[in-house]
Chain A
Amino acid sequence: NAGVMQNPRHLVRRRGQEARLRCSPVKGHSHVYWYRQLPEEGLKFMVYLQKENIIDESGMPKERFSAEFPKEGPSILRIQQVVRGDSAAYFCASSLPVGGAESAEAFFGQGTRLTVV
């Protein structure tokens, strides 16, 4: 029973290149979340997706960042024209549906550590 799988674990990009981070949720989970963790800081919410829909992108920078969760395949977080400030650990989490009085634990992947040089 595989957990959340993220790849790559480590990614090095030069300034101006594109970074693509992949996340396969726990089997049967339809909700995916992306978080960013800067050194010595807590996790910051970026975006919440369901299959083929972006539900909440309030934490996403307005430019250069995009996310998708297609009907088939993993969720992708894409960062265009990376800058040094994008260097961070990016975590994906998945959960069962939540809402109303329900709540669900989030299962996190091991993260992708992006380094921009």
Chain B
Amino acid sequence: SQKIEQNSEALNIQEGKTATLTCNYTNYSPAYLQWYRQDPGRGPVFLLLIRENEKEKRKERLKVTFDTTLKQSLFHITASQPADSATYLCALAGSGNTGKLIFGQGTTLQVKP
């Protein structure tokens, strides 16, 4: 069955460092992959989308890579700030590309000042 795994443990880093979050998937060939941010008590907020034929995507301090051979995506936040502290969700497009998303369980990032 399709499976998506993100770092289950919280990631604690110092302000200014680069945070790297991992998303691995099995038994699946998604057309694209998305990353969302979720703050406590709030809905997810879209950050970045990367397609299967793209290797890397950047947006300001964010960078996403997508390796369809390894079945892995890495999400980087450079020059991290305490305001980046949140849970980050990886989501894959469901089969048939209907817009349905399959989410990982999320990784909680804590950036310490």
Contact = CB atoms under 8 A, between A and B. Distances in A.
A55 B98 contact: yes
Contacts of B46: 105-107
Contacts of A72: none
A45 B43 CA distance: 14
A95 interface: yes
A95 B89 contact: no
Interface in B34-66: 34, 36, 41-46, 49, 51
Interface residues of B, number: 26
Contacts of A107: 46
A20 to B, nearest CB: 19
A26 B41 CA distance: 20
Contacts of A1: none
Nearest to A110: B43
A1 to B, nearest CB: 15
Interface of A: 4, 31, 33, 35, 41-45, 48, 55-56, 91, 93, 95, 97-111
28 contacts: A31-B99, A33-B100, A35-B101, A42-B89, A42-B103, A45-B101, A45-B102, A48-B99, A55-B98, A91-B43, A91-B44, A95-B99, A97-B99, A98-B99, A99-B97, A99-B98, A102-B97, A103-B31, A103-B99, A104-B99, A106-B34, A106-B44, A106-B101, A107-B46, A108-B36, A108-B43, A108-B45, A110-B42
